[in-house]
Structure 1
Amino acid sequence: GKEAAAVRDALRVRGVASVYLSDRDSVFASDEARDLCLWLRGVAEPQDMRRVRAALGSRTVGLSLAELYDLATQDELLDQRAEQMRELRMVWQVQGVLAMLRQSLHVLQLAGRWRGQSDGERRLTNVLHLAELLQTASSQLDGEQALIRWLAQQIDEVNAGGAGDSEEQTVRLESDEDLVKVITIHASKGLEYPVVCLPFAHSHRMLEAHKTPVLQLDDGEGERVWTLDFDKDDTKVADHDRLREDLRLWYVALTRARHALWVGWSPVNRQGGKSCVNHQSAAGHLLGGGLEFEAADWLPKLQALEKDADEHRLSVQLVSASAEVPLTVWARPAHTSELRDALSCTARIDKSWTIASFSRLTRDLASQTLLHMATPRPADDEPPVDAQALPEQAEPQAPWHRFAKGPSAGNFLHDQLEWLAADGFALDAPKAERLKKRCDNAGYKAQADDVVQWLTRVVAQPLRGPGSPLNALGTLLPEMEFWLPAERLHAREVDALCQQHLLPGVSRPQLPDAQLHGMLMGFADLVFEHEGRYWVLDYKSNHLGADDAAYTPQALAEAMAHHRYEVQAALYMLALHRLLRARLGEAYNPAQQLGGAVYLFLRGIDGPAGGCCTLPAPIELLDGLDAMLNAEVKA
């Protein structure tokens, strides 16, 4: 890798483009991945000027210092950039992240600017590669923030030395046409090139006992085994095997050229020593017959090789490098080709068609005046409470009340429950130890015992509605994915229908006035069957208060309405309703076989509601949603 980088740097200085055909780095380790994370945050939150400035200040966007100064001192210019990002956010929401990123390249004129830079093609290839990976990941994630967290997690894992070695993440070749190909000898087997340059002909890596933690040795029966117990004699044997392999690769290197082969040679010392060790390389072993020579003694050997080649009608020329090599820059020859007439497209493309999810229907709720979870008001005949006279709050009753809050903690808990669901929510002693290990890997080592205690209670807690705990349910289907075709679905109509049939009497913010035309998709955390009835279940880690008393039925209902989870439940129940109707046919009776939706608030398992907000599945609601999705477009 270091040799390849040195070669490419030398070529780049001389204006010669190259490509490294043996690169196995992850694209998530690139500068473009980190900059793209900043750009996504800026586009997702264009109202946050800190996000906007961070996005515009990245190396990938590449604004000049003068442009950045103008943005810092002229508010109207920054507002124009923020408006650009708002428009890009609309593209993201309607057409997806891939379309948004391609539009970003156009708006910022990045492709044209990068084309004139030495690493421009590399940067453009990385950005387009990351855009494709993000588009693929977005099909399994809800909303912009979830996608941004996914990208940040991929970057962190690669930087920490984990993952990143899958074929999909390996950096792609920016081009393989009209470029110098830099490739390892091993990867060149079976290939042929017009001209081959071997600048590191003397390169080798000798095995030494004090630097080698493990050796592969012949066991005397034709098998090779790895061993940690070895001495210097074993190391010499292993190094002899290394030389044999180097000789095989050297043969490969010498036979790849069709017209000419250029070999670099220089004396090599090891760790500042004075003795020359070229004889330990494959080329030196062949040239010197395995004997050790000082640096000055190699020149006659090379001259003899040149003379010997002439006798065998081979052309070998020995060229000594001068002290100063002039730097020449390659000039690309002028080449123009006749342009063809542009093709005209007559197809009609429905640009309003899109893919959306529950998060799309509830987007921008934060901008409305939402409900605030407050402590119950005192009765009219009770005196007002003096806040300063309140006693100091006692310690939470259970560890889950002091567990970390926020989306990251919620995603972690969801992942553990999904993992447990694959094995029927069994949580015995061996599974508990594995759960602790998973906590450690996710950064929750200090809370591992609390998580085990918590989830042990969660899986054994009877669910309100089905009346059975998770670990005693029948058929389980975790992460049920669904796709529902929608023709001009209006969010306000869905809003009115859900308010009519779910959580009656509980006030809630209105859904934004949006229209969905395309596909409605989602993932239900869990679908299960119990005593002939089918249910959907969703895990919620919302923090409603410091103790069990905060998780009353009324508080759970208000939290559901506050986030419009009842809309999510309605869509999940509709997907399950359609699945059962398709699978069971005329035998399906929703009144008897469709149970409803259970929203399990994990922090409220000891609260008055047992942590459950259970919603029914009114057939009028499902029929209404069904009709909305199937509504034909009117001329």
Structure 2
Amino acid sequence: MSYSAANLIQLQDEDEKWSGIVHAFDRAHQTYQSKGLMSAFNQLDAFFQIRETLSNKTLPERRLTNLDHILELLIKKEQKGFASLSTVVRYLKTRSNTDSSPSDEELIRLESDSELITISTLHASKGLEYPIVFVPFLWDNFDSSNSRGINFTEYHNEENKLCIDLSKNPNEEIVEISRKELLADSLRLNYVAFTRPKCACYVPFVKYNSKGNGIIKSPFLATVVNSETVLDSNLKPDDKLKLLEENLYKLSTNEHISYLSSSESLEFSLTENLKNKIEPEVPTDDLATTKLERNDLFDFKRILSFSSISSDQSNTAEFKDYDELELSVAGDSLEKIGDPVRSKLNFPKGADTGNLLHYILEDVRFTESSEIDSVISDKMNLLHFDNTWKQVLVEWIKEILNHELITGLKIGQLKEENLIKEMDFHFPVNDISLKGMLSLIREKDENDITKEVALSGFMKGFIDLIFRFENKYYILDYKSNFLGDKIDDYSQVHLQEAIKSHNYDLQYHIYSVALIRFLKNRISDFSYVENFGGVYYLFLRGLKNDNPDSGVYFDKPSYNVLKNLEYHLKGES
């Protein structure tokens, strides 16, 4: 409040001014009791002009930031258990002690982020400005997508109305319109990026070509050359790269544009532009760039799953490993089956059916058969399923729950306290590959994978069901795959073929490693022999109560195989 010792001594002789100060604190105390600390402080601020005084001192931004931070901490203390004023003051005195260790929320805050490096998406940067801007990743394919599940084509028709084509193989004309619109959107985002900087904009790019993608299908190429070049499928990749090079050199003839093809030129450009931004007394002679000479540009940590590895996708983190993820719209998944006798065998195929069955079995309590009807109705409405299939589904779920999985145990007898539904897991992995993992769990002549790409990051997944029976823990996974329209199509021979063709054997080996890790952390004397029961894969369409083996695949992996797989996942093999 800017009162020095001399000012306070002088106040002793100025009764009127002293009375005003005492009255201000008295009113603030009353306000604190009725409205809280912030209202009381605002009254004192208005009387003593605290913020204005701090603004006229050295390092005003630092002082005001500290004031707001202290007020925030005091208000939190006040609100926690409705602390009294004396408690708040005692807290402030204790935390002001230089010997006390600050908590994370008490650590000093930066008064401004104007001098910090800001990382932003192109969308979020709209309307903002920065001294110097770097815009990476414009070399990526403009229409690449990591989406899984429902595939669709989005475009605008002649009346400029938004249309969505859900078919597997949309009309080529529609695809071309959609790609042009996607590229146009990318170009507009490029414009946003290029107009953010005040001093300079740097656009690094990599001239790579992977599977016909990369720079030759990038918005950067469209910006430097034109959109037609990117969309022209008849133009060879090398010709596109040549056009890019030629146009970059043409652009560099402009006094405001430079094509920096060496580390030396980049270093000089950075230094010159920073001189315009940094105060003159700050030296820039020590600024330097380092030439990047590496071939592992895309060897970065990522979130992996069984599906992403098995399907050779680079990154899938948000989806559960449900089967039949590809939605078959053109087939019978959205159409009524012509067969008058409806059953689980001709139940609609596709991702919706897989999701529907998983949602039902996740929500229904196995021992409460009375819930089946209402849960099925809710889930069918949620996924907009044809209600004429409800009775088939009710009978199907009852048949599943009535199936004898182990001698003396039906699925419907599993109590909630012995179940973990949809358990998710994630653990670090290092230098793993599909070929490497399959070679550990299959015989040599069964593994026809030739490509070997090492991936690192985190393995993530969801286990449909873990259940405990007689002190053993089992994995159970639901599969709605359509293997045929006859029960015989779900015999053990056909199930083994499906397991291998979809790499489900890899899936349940990964799940087994995850569950064993989980159990070892919770059971001090865990024994693989005594506590791990094995893995059940239920091909739900093929379950038949009078034939326990129909639609049921079981395996208890070799402990040595699981141990070697875990070594491989850790990168120690």
Report the TM-score when normalising by structure 2.
Answer: 0.46
Flag the structure with more relative contact order, 1 or 2, with Cα contacts below 8 A and sequence separation at least 6: 1
State the TM-score, normalized to the length of structure 1.
Answer: 0.42
